[in-house]
Structure 1
Amino acid sequence: MKHPYQVGITGGIGSGKSLVCRILHRGFDAPVYDADSRAKYLMQHKRELIEQIIQHFGKEAYTPDGTLNNAYLAERVFHDVQAVKQLNALVHPQVALDYQAWLMTHKQAPYVVREAALMIESGAHASLDLLVLVTAPVEIRIRRVLLRDPHRNRAQVEAIIAKQMSEEEKRRYAHYVIENDGSRPLLPAVVALHELINKKIRTKNT
C-alpha cells in the first residue's frame, strides 16, 4: 500500500521542533502528527491504555473524575528510571497504532510529518523516510522553556534535559539537522528542508 513520504522531526525540550512543524504545516500544508500530544490524549481517552496504566501504577494515576493525575505520575514515575520505561512500554505501542490510523487518512499528501521528543527512544524513527533533528545549545533551550512555561523553574527544566537523550547522540541517527540557536532566521532553514523533502520524493518516485 502506497504511503506518503514520512518525515520525523525530533529534538530535546526547547529546541524548537514544534515551531519547525508549524512552519511546515502552515507554510506548505504538510499534515503534522504530534506524537506527544496524542500520547496524552490516548492516556486520557483510550480505555485499554487507561486500564493498563491503572494496573501498573494504581488507581491514583487518575483523579476521581477520570482525569489523568499528572502530579501523581510525575512523582511516581519521573524519578524512577524503570517506571519511566514501564510507562513508555505501555504508551508507545498505542501511539504507533494511532499514528498508523492517522497516516491512512493522509494517503494523498506528498509527505507527512511526525513530531516527537522520544522519536529515537521509542524506535519510531526506524519506519520513517527522513529523520530531522532540531537542535540548540542547552542554555538557550533552558531560557526558551522558562519563557514558555512559567510554571517550571530552572532546576526542573535541567532535570528534564538530563533525562532526555543527548543531542550529540541524536545526531548519529539524524539524516538532517536544523541548528536553531537564534543566530540565523529559522524560516530559510525550514524552506530548505521542504525543498530537500520534495527532491527526495522525486528521487524515490523515479
Structure 2
Amino acid sequence: MPSTAKKLSPTTKWLRDAKWGLFTHYMVHMPSGPIPDDMTGDIWNDKVNSFQVDKLADQLTALKVPYFFITIGQGGNYYCSPNATYERLFGNSNRKLTDRDLVKELGVELKSRGIKLCVYLPAVGSRESLQIQNQWQQVITEWSVRWGDSVHAWWIDGFINTDKTVQKAYADAYRAGNPETLVSFNPGTPVGINR
C-alpha cells in the first residue's frame, strides 16, 4: 500500500519532529498591555542586562525543550538587540535598542546545548510606503546576518501584506543569515472581527 503521507522538507522537518517548544514574550510591558509611563531606554537596558542566559538555558535543558522562541521586541520600538541600521535609518532610539545583544547570546548558548532558537517580531511596514518597507528589510537583514544559523525560525505577527513580491523580499531579509530558517507570516485577526 503506497504511503499518502506528504514528505516534509528538511527545512520544516525539525519543527514537526520536535512536537513542542516554549515561547516567551519578553518585553517592556505585559502582552496586550500599555507600555509603563515611566519606561525609558535606560530602564529597558537594565532589564535586559539582568537577564541570566545561562540560568534560562539550564532550565530549558532540564525540561528537554527542543526549541525556544523569544520576542526581539513588540510595542514602543523597544528591542533586546542593538541594530546600527535601525539607528541610521530611523534615528537615535534613545537606547530602546539595547546595548546587549540578548538574542545573539541566547543563540550561542542554546546552540551549544542542542536547543533551536526562534524569534518573534511584529510586522512593520505592511501598510507603509515601499521606502519604509525597504528600510525595515535592511534592519531585519542586519539582525539575520549577525545571528546567522543560531536562529532557526522567525514568527512575524500581524503581517497583512498579501503581495507575493513583498512577502519574498521580507522572507529574503529574514533568511539573509540562514537560508534554512523557517519564516511564518501570521496575518493576525481577519479584518472586521473584533477581539
TM-score (norm 2): 0.37
Q: Identify which of structures 1 and 2 has the higher relative contact order when contacts are C-alpha pairs closer than 8 Å and 6+ apart.
A: 1
TM-score by length of 1: 0.36
Instruction: Say which structure is richer in helix.
Output: 1
